[in-house]
Structure 1
Amino acid sequence: LYYFIYTSSGNSHVYHFVSHKLSKKSGLEIDVKSIDLAEYPHVLVAMNIEKKAKLILNGQINHNSLHMDYKLTRECIGSDVCQIDDTIDINGHINGPYNRIHVSGEGTALDGNIIYNAVKFTDKIEDLNLTMRDINSTKLFTLLGHDALIQGKADVDVDFTLIEKVNREGSFTYDVKDNNFSGIPLNLHTKVNLNGTQHTFIADIASPYLNLNISKGHFNQDKKIAKAFYTLDIKDLSHLETLLGYKYLGPLYAMGEITFDKYLSISGLSKSYGGMIDYLFEKDGLYIKLEDVSFSEFMKIFPYPPMIEADTRGNIYYNFIQETLVVNTKLTNAKVVHKDLVNVIREKTGVFLQEETFDNSTLDTSYHNGILVGDLKLANDSSHLFLTNAKIDTDENTINAYFDFKMQEQEFSGEIYGSIDDTDVNLDIQKLIKYQMGKQLDSMMGKGATKTMRSMPMEGAAEDMATGAAATFIKAFF
């Protein structure tokens, strides 16, 4: 006994033996550096853990229980998934029988302050209370094997009545403040209650520009299925340009349900644009159903003057992976409200476009790889304005489309092509002259005679010959 207690070589054998026993029992690499038994049962033990942490134990110990202070210092912290640089400095106390040890401590870790206490049994932990203040959220989530989407100083409060290998009962709250989340200041508050494999949760994200509330959340740990309700209130989309990647405009209010069952699904409703928008995001796509939505109000989210005002019904689909957009809609009570377009048509044709209402109209378009193609057809019982086979190259800033116009005793068609900034127009002069001469024939010969000519064999060839000849004559000179 003298050899093991009072000689350096004996001490070395004892340290090695104790290190081996502690390492085997804990599953950690423990290297005992010193054991002072001079005032036994009061002992002083110093050891290294995993070559990174230093632990000093100082107090009473016997065969049945212990009553000791401890100091833990470390320059990094690790888990099964990662290791991060972090300065840990904790002072605490452990006491009680070996099969029921009370552990408490406080100090610094994860760039913040922590206080904790718990009761450790051989196979479980009870009454764990952990308070963390001003910790580094990025370090915390890295330690847990996840990315911290919201970064900043965080507060954590943990209150578990029971922690077993496959069972946990209790709750925790998590609050974090991020002053620059994609250029947006926001605060996150969340609370999770755990009852075995069934978890419930709520969350709130608050910002000067938006509020997101998640309620009635439920997670089945065994089935890996989650569900929750949400409400989203955005004051002005323009403030979220750095987050959304585009400067949308106007407010947005929506509510719906979030589910996760093998993949994420978000469904919801919004009345922000006059009618009802029903949407679903799942897998790679966003599906939108429009019911009597104001076309002009909806288009105001983009920083361009609206061209049309109408009640809109139809479907929109966007594929995030392929970056493909498909729009199929029907328009009622449609009116052209683009002032420049209205003025140009009035000056060139004398048509007051703003007086027309189109109840039988459609907009069908698709977008992929910078190319927008589609048809816009505005029509009522006596008039129409068609823009068909339209193709817009957003990269080259070019357009090619065919138009057909019949309105207020004017009728013509043609092609629009070239640069969007300096568009060329190829007018079908024969159709225009045919229509104008038809009106002249009506006035000179009477509508009855003109109707007789149009009803002759060869489906109006007589009228075509008259107007066609005039068109040929004008083309020869102009």
Structure 2
Amino acid sequence: MKKILFILLIVLISLSFFLFNDKGNEYLKPYLESYLETKLQRDMSVKIEHLNIDFRHLELDAVLNNLTKVKVAGDISLLSQSFDLDYKLTSNGFKNKQISFTNKIDINGTVIGTLNNMKIYGEGETLKSHINYALNIKDELINNIKVKINKADIASLLQLAAQPAYAEGKVDVDIDIPTFKEADTKGTGKITLYKTLLNEKTFKEALNIDLPKNTVLTANLNSKVSAEIFEVKGNIKSNLAWLKLNNTTYNVKDKKFIANYKLLAPRLSQLAFLTKQTLRGQLQVAGTLHLKDKHFFLKGSTKDLGGDTNFDYNGEKLNLSMEQVDIAKLLYMLHEQPYATGKLLAKVQIQDLNKLRGSYTLKTIKAKTIANTFKKDLNIDFGKDIAFSLDTKGVIASNLLHIENTLFSDIFQYRSANMVYNLNTQKLESFYTLEIPKLSELDTLAGKSLQGEVSINGEIQYDKNLTITGSTKSLGGSINFKLLKTVLSAKIDKVPVKNLMTVLSYPIIFEAPLVGDFYYDLVTRQGTLNSTLTQAQLLENSLTKLVKQIRGVDLTKERYNQTHFNAILNKNLINIDFKAKSKQALFAIPSGQINKSNNTINANYQIEVNNKDMGGKIQGNIAQPNISIDSSNYLQKKVNDVINSNISSDALKDLGLDKLEPEAIKNLLGDLFK
């Protein structure tokens, strides 16, 4: 508007030297319209509806872009080149290629002075608000600027700036600038932003930002203005974050902007639309922002994670350092449970953020797991806190992240020297080694006593689902396993049963290489084992001793080539099915159950030797169970015969009881048919 008035004054006063009559005025109209259009915006049209100029008076009515009416009238002096004019701007809006402004404009004002020294005053209605302004133009320099706008409409301001309707609210603007000529003389400015509601629909359409509903913004900014420097300080607050600006300056001469800021996000959970991840807690960052031309440098630091976290970013390079950051606080911010405590050291250097090229290092200090959290949330019971150290580093190039990891703990040692993660496809591949020197450290986790050691080599893959494969020969033979989602499957090939029983701390009752398939769901804790054994040999135990005494047959001397061992796992219960058959003997446990929680067994057994049978129960502690005989067709027939013949010595010998003491025979026969 000031530009329009200034050009109008210059042109109109110069025209006063022409002939001042009606015909002359009409003759001047098209030339004046053309001249004004060249001085104004290229897409702005000027239509002069009325023009009257003489030596002492000026009247002008014009229409800009067929929408805005300009009326100027007042006294002029061609001799002194002075004027005292009243002007009026009225419009219901205006439109050009860049702006479509639909707000009402109704402003009245005066222009007093000369072409070299004029004062402009005005007040009225625009931006759905009242505006009052004054300024002085002397020797082409603007000074003594005073502008006051009360509760201007934010949406209208955005429309005037050719911006989408990002917000609805009101703003006060109060500007008082004495001069731009003297560098030491400073003016003042104040902006007060009242409760302003951000439009989440517009943010989504224009910026693709999923802004939370009912996001409110307020601001209170104060500035000092001189010929070369703009200084700003104040607060911008919302229900999402607070921004405090201090010692913020803009140098007009070198066009350099420097801001000292403090940013507080009291509830990180509300910033998921930016972070694309659920966070919690608060974060306060303090730093500086430098802007010059198209270059900027952002720097910040925070202590909210414990220790020091610092970063800097220039639009291309990003550097991040974490010194003595608290692991538990970081896990809390990432919305994870407190699985571990300790400190973290990390450095991230991105040389080219657009091409994703850089490196990182990360290391833990005095870290340990929190056993209660693992047990409560993951149903994993380590029995105690486990000290561990994690050391990882990586290089990012061509959208590939190459990672080296080492994770050492009191339980295991994990190494992965060639992990590759594709940032485009989000696929991961890695070879690894896992060494567990003392399986006994996993007793609480396994729910039973373990022995020995194991070393595993395998591969980790991620492509929508996590797949872990591995193999080991630590137990003799080989075990190859695969973990897909929550299901663990394994193929066991010629692994000595003796070694498996030793690891599980179960009594060793037979020897044989085992071949089988194992399936187990880690979530439901249910699974199956189906296996066969070749050249199985029973080892001496209470049951084989009893059979040897009764039948005179040593089951440990037999070789059982038709053997299977199957199991169904359901949490702490294992239902077993075992059958071993040789040429002359059969030993079977058709149904049995092992309870891991109390380490007990309850099973039925069957034995046949040369078509002569016996059966019973195995009950109690699995290390030293009680064995009883429940039934035997063969023994029942023999006992009846013995009774009928008064138990002759030949019968006792035939039953294999001739070597037992009389009291033992009595107990055996007394319990046989209960």
In the superposition, the TM-score normalised over structure 1's length comes to 0.75
Take 1:340 and 1:414, find their aligned partners in 2: how far apart are those partners?
A: 14
Tell me by how many angstroms 1:279 deviates.
1.0
Tell me by how many angstroms 1:349 deviates.
4.7
Q: Which residue among 602, 609, 622 is the counterpart of 1:406?
A: 609
* Structure 1 residues 29 and 317, CA gap change in structure 2 (3 angstroms): same
- Map Cα deviations across residues 129-155 of structure 1 (whole Å, 9 max, x no partner): 111112233444554566675554222
The answer to whether the 8 Å contact 1:108/1:114 transfers is yes
Take 1:374 and 1:114, find their aligned partners in 2: how far apart are those partners?
A: 56
Take 1:14 and 1:281, find their aligned partners in 2: how far apart are those partners?
A: 64
- Worse-superposed segment, 297-306 or 350-359: 350-359
Whichever residue aligns with residue 503 of structure 2, its letter is: I
The answer to whether the 8 Å contact 1:413/1:432 transfers is no
Take 1:111 and 1:30, find their aligned partners in 2: how far apart are those partners?
A: 30
- 1:300 counterpart SS class: helix
The answer to whether the 8 Å contact 2:483/2:489 transfers is yes
Q: Which residue among 618, 634, 645 is the counterpart of 1:430?
A: 634
Take 2:540 and 2:353, find their aligned partners in 1: how far apart are those partners?
A: 65
Q: Which residue is equivalent to 2:347?
A: 157
Tell me by how many angstroms 1:276 deviates.
0.7
- 1:57 counterpart SS class: strand
Matches within 5 A, 1:70-469: 70-72=260-262, 74=264, 76=266, 78=268, 79-80=271-272, 81-86=277-282, 88=284, 90=286, 92-119=287-314, 125-141=315-331, 143-144=333-334, 150-164=340-354, 168-177=356-365, 178-182=367-371, 183-195=385-397, 197-337=399-539, 339-368=541-570, 372-381=574-583, 383-392=584-593, 394=595, 399-406=602-609, 411-416=612-617, 422=626, 424-430=628-634
Whichever residue aligns with residue 249 of structure 1, its letter is: Q
Take 2:620 and 2:510, find their aligned partners in 1: how far apart are those partners?
A: 22
Whichever residue aligns with residue 15 of structure 1, its letter is: I
Q: Which residue is equivalent to 1:459?
A: none
* Structure 1 residues 168 and 138, CA gap change in structure 2 (3 angstroms): farther
The answer to whether the 8 Å contact 1:82/1:142 transfers is no
- Map Cα deviations across residues 261-304 of structure 1 (whole Å, 9 max, x no partner): 22221111101101111111113422111111111111222233
- Worse-superposed segment, 238-247 or 389-398: 389-398
Whichever residue aligns with residue 604 of structure 2, its letter is: A
Take 2:173 and 2:519, find their aligned partners in 1: how far apart are those partners?
A: 78
Take 1:148 and 1:224, find their aligned partners in 2: how far apart are those partners?
A: 27
The answer to whether the 8 Å contact 1:186/1:207 transfers is yes
Whichever residue aligns with residue 255 of structure 1, its letter is: N
* Structure 1 residues 238 and 213, CA gap change in structure 2 (3 angstroms): same
Whichever residue aligns with residue 408 of structure 2, its letter is: A
- Map Cα deviations across residues 144-200 of structure 1 (whole Å, 9 max, x no partner): 566675554222211112224xx5332323333532243211122233433354333
Rg (Cα) greater in structure: 2
- 2:308 counterpart SS class: strand
* Structure 1 residues 400 and 296, CA gap change in structure 2 (3 angstroms): closer
- 1:189 counterpart SS class: strand
Tell me by how many angstroms 1:49 deviates.
4.4
- 1:273 counterpart SS class: coil
Q: Which residue is equivalent to 2:191?
A: 15
- Worse-superposed segment, 201-210 or 421-430: 421-430
* Structure 1 residues 142 and 200, CA gap change in structure 2 (3 angstroms): farther
- Map Cα deviations across residues 366-421 of structure 1 (whole Å, 9 max, x no partner): 2347664443223334x4342142132749967342412328xx943224277676
In the superposition, the TM-score normalised over structure 2's length comes to 0.55
The answer to whether the 8 Å contact 1:377/1:384 transfers is no
Take 1:247 and 1:417, find their aligned partners in 2: how far apart are those partners?
A: 21
Take 1:168 and 1:127, find their aligned partners in 2: how far apart are those partners?
A: 10
Q: Which residue among 246, 256, 259 is the counterpart of 1:57?
A: 246
More relative contact order in 1 or in 2 (CA 8 Å, sep 6+)?
Answer: 1
- Please list every run of 5 or more consecutive structure 1 residues that lacks an aligned counterpart in the other structure: 120-124, 438-443, 445-473
Whichever residue aligns with residue 37 of structure 1, its letter is: K
The answer to whether the 8 Å contact 1:65/1:95 transfers is no
Q: Which residue is equivalent to 2:178?
A: none
Whichever residue aligns with residue 590 of structure 2, its letter is: N
Take 2:238 and 2:408, find their aligned partners in 1: how far apart are those partners?
A: 42
Identity of aligned residues (%): 19
**CA RMSD across the alignment:** 4.1
Tell me by how many angstroms 1:30 deviates.
5.9
Take 1:348 and 1:161, find their aligned partners in 2: how far apart are those partners?
A: 83
Take 1:216 and 1:30, find their aligned partners in 2: how far apart are those partners?
A: 48
Tell me by how many angstroms 1:45 deviates.
1.4
* Structure 1 residues 85 and 430, CA gap change in structure 2 (3 angstroms): closer
* Structure 1 residues 141 and 367, CA gap change in structure 2 (3 angstroms): closer
* Structure 1 residues 82 and 399, CA gap change in structure 2 (3 angstroms): closer
The answer to whether the 8 Å contact 1:88/1:110 transfers is no
Tell me by how many angstroms 1:100 deviates.
0.6
Take 2:298 and 2:173, find their aligned partners in 1: how far apart are those partners?
A: 34
- 1:414 counterpart SS class: strand
* Structure 1 residues 240 and 30, CA gap change in structure 2 (3 angstroms): farther
The answer to whether the 8 Å contact 1:402/1:414 transfers is yes
- 1:16 counterpart SS class: strand
Whichever residue aligns with residue 632 of structure 2, its letter is: D
* Structure 1 residues 432 and 195, CA gap change in structure 2 (3 angstroms): farther
- Map Cα deviations across residues 340-363 of structure 1 (whole Å, 9 max, x no partner): 445444555554444444344222
The answer to whether the 8 Å contact 2:189/2:225 transfers is no
Tell me by how many angstroms 1:99 deviates.
1.6
Tell me by how many angstroms 1:239 deviates.
1.4
Tell me by how many angstroms 1:315 deviates.
1.6
- 2:192 counterpart SS class: helix
Q: Which residue is equivalent to 2:12?
A: none
* Structure 1 residues 324 and 84, CA gap change in structure 2 (3 angstroms): closer
The answer to whether the 8 Å contact 2:301/2:311 transfers is yes
